[in-house]
Amino acid sequence: MLRPSHADAVAVWGRRPVSWRGLAMARRGDVPVLNVEDAWLRSVQPGAGGEGPLGLLLDKRGLHYDSAQPSALEDLLATAELETPDLRARAEDGIAFLCDNGLSKYANWDAAVRPPEPGYVLVIDQTAGDAAISHAGASADSFRQMLAAAKAEHPTARIVLRTHPVTAAGTKRGHFSPEDCDGRTTICADPVNPWALLDGASAVYAVSSQLGFEAILAGHRPAIFGQPFYAGWGLSDDRLPVVRRTRRLSREALFACAMLLYPTWYDPYRDRLTGFETVAQALAAQARAWRENRQPAICTGMKPWKHKPTAAFLRGQGGPPRFESDPAQALKLAATTKRTVLIWAGKETPEIRAQAAAQNTPLIRVEDGFLRSVGLGAQLLPAASLVLDDLGIYFDPTRPSRLETQIAQSTALPRHARRRAAALQAAIVAARLTKYNVGADQALTIPPGRQVVLVPGQVEDDASIRLGTSDVSTNLALLRRARAHFPDAFIIYKPHPDVEVGLRQGAVTDAQAQGLADVVAREISASQAMDLADVVWTMTSLMGFEALLRGLEVHCLGMPFYAGWGLTNDHGQSASRRTARPDLTALVHATLIDYPRYFDAQTGLACPPEVTLERLSSGALAVSRHATRRHKAVAAVQYRLRGLAHLWRR
């Protein structure tokens, strides 16, 4: 056993009843105490739920919540240069990201729960006996004084008593109870977005709660009845001043110190230390998955090999999803079990939609995301991303979809979102990633001086062709129109890989391509094909969107999700709903960040797109890693029987 005198420090978690042991050990060994606490972004649910923290506060000077003596955090707040352009920009973006995503220490709020009607005075409770109260110079009496002051200073206002999430869960008691309520005082214990709660408040009162810190970030000047780390810097109405704190800070400086400089942040995907931004994105992704997976679900229209990865993707409090092959039967089962139905988008019919509406069952369409895998779905490889759409589906322009709504709203993106989308786009292009990431770079000679037009083939019986095209709906017709529009261009025709292996419909023979395409590029990667091209000519292929990312001119003869917004040359049907004019950065954010959800198979966690991009570019999602032996065997048999593919794809 290591002796204290041989250690660099003795780590002591907070000031719990057993903390004296560690403090005594440090004194005996004459070594420093390393004070440890959870950081201000911890996990989706409180620690009792089993989730590890995404960050820690490690302080050799003192405890951040102990106002009796300075801590390393207080020293930083008092002396550090916190207004550099880089720190201020990061702080502004960080505050906006927390607000936009509803992130606090915990993120287990329910999007369906609305805050009270705006205009109330928010009085924030804490758990009884919390060391952060007594060490902040406060007591249980401080909460009584706070409530009395709130009522006296706002004699006609509604008072909302905010219960701590742990108290609401029944784990610990708080300081307020129904006995404190009257005609204008109510308790809010519901799992509401804390930032929405702050947004609706006309004034905020706190003792030492983290929500008081977030109130400052939200633009309030809260009345503070204790001495928490954020009090005393000119940003709060301090009823118990800390006389040694004389510096005046901006809220951005407070955030920069408390969130960017002081904590030690942990990246759960890469198992290493990281910065605030990575953790914030991780918590946002995990919180979104937690909220969307809360309701029990029935999945239907999905092939058996997809069941296991889909169940992992949808794992949540509602329990594992049930799988039912027949959509009509799934809806009948949902009517009796009150479950949501998740249907593979291509299997939805007007009849199924009408049945769901008639019985008031939520119907959500599921499809692969746009950063999918290294290899084809036909090889039975699970997707690293899925889209779940409650309105329609992205490839069906005949009705609204959630993606269409998000694209229309993306014109008002804040700076942090635009920066993230631009960085994601640049990383995708630099890594040469596409949806499937198949094929290889090959030598291909392009005559100098000729415009290069890339024509990507598609699966002709695909739903995006059936629903998104009108007069041109075959690969041969697409080629003919390309040659007519670009008579002097060098045309590269790239068949769809599923069609090439004989598993899907849409083959164009060499004889048919003669005179229309200068070269049929069967084996080259989509990335290389776009590297060679000046123009992409397509019906509804995702390669048109991928070409936009690379700055290419794109012509659409159908109406894919990325057309109709002023970014493409549209030769197909009109899209009267698509009146917004987002730029490419906004389109990227809606399409690759807002719309899909991503799942990291290596850690079993929901993840942000940046992690999936890294996994794809590093080869971590390659065929050999992801496809089981059974899936490989089935895919091999499927290939040998490809002439009968229509039988299993009906």
Q: What is the pLDDT of residue 48?
A: 64
Report long-range pairs for 555-558 (Cβ below 8 Å, ≥24 apart): 555/485, 557/469, 557/471, 557/472, 557/478, 557/481, 558/464, 558/465, 558/468, 558/469, 558/470, 558/472, 558/473
Residue 209 above 80 pLDDT?
yes
Q: State the DSSP H helix or E strand holding residue 210, giving kind and residue range, or none if neither.
A: helix 210-217
User: Do residues 12 and 111 share a domain?
Assistant: no
For the stretch 518-529, pLDDT in tens is 999 988 889 999
User: Do residues 88 and 65 share a domain?
Assistant: no
Mean pLDDT of 227-244: 97
Q: What is the pLDDT of residue 166?
A: 87
Contact between 623 and 382 (Cβ < 8 Å): no
The total of other beta-carbon atoms located within 10 Å of residue 336's CB is 8
Confidence band, pLDDT 50/70/90 cuts, at residue 469? very high
Handedness of CA 320, 282, 65, 18 (dihedral sign): positive
Residue spans of beta strands (DSSP E) within 126-189: 159-162, 185-188
Q: What is the pLDDT of residue 394?
A: 97
Cβ-Cβ contacts under 8 Å for 598 (sequence gap 6 or more): 285, 369, 371, 384, 385, 606, 607, 608, 609, 611, 612
Residue 366 lies in a domain: no
Confidence band, pLDDT 50/70/90 cuts, at residue 648? very low
Domain boundary among 22, 47, 77: 77
Query: How far apart are the C-alpha atoms of 226 and 123, rounded to whole Å?
Result: 13
User: Do residues 196 and 47 share a domain?
Assistant: no
**DSSP designation for 117:** P
Residue 378 lies in a domain: no
Q: What is the pLDDT of residue 626?
A: 42
Mean pLDDT of 178-191: 96
Residue 521 lies in a domain: yes
Domain boundary among 59, 77, 95: 77
Q: What is the pLDDT of residue 503?
A: 57
Task: Calculate what percentage of the chain has a pLDDT beyond 70.
Answer: 92
Mean pLDDT of 219-235: 98
Number of independent structural domains in the chain: 3
169: containing domain: 84-267
Residue 398 lies in a domain: no
Domain boundary among 52, 77, 102: 77
CATH of the domain at 208: 3.40.50
Closest CA to 465 of 493, 522, 505: 505
Residue 439 above 80 pLDDT?
no
Residue 10 above 80 pLDDT?
yes
For the stretch 616-634, pLDDT in tens is 988 765 543 444 455 444 4
For the stretch 489-520, pLDDT in tens is 999 999 988 777 665 687 888 899 899 999 99
Residue 371 lies in a domain: no
For the stretch 154-178, pLDDT in tens is 999 999 999 998 888 888 899 999 9
Structure tokens at 309: 């990865």
Q: What is the pLDDT of residue 375?
A: 55
What are the backbone dihedrals phi and psi of residue 319, each rounded to the nearest 5 degrees, phi first? 85, 170
User: Do residues 255 and 219 share a domain?
Assistant: yes
Mean pLDDT of 67-74: 96
Residue 564 above 80 pLDDT?
yes
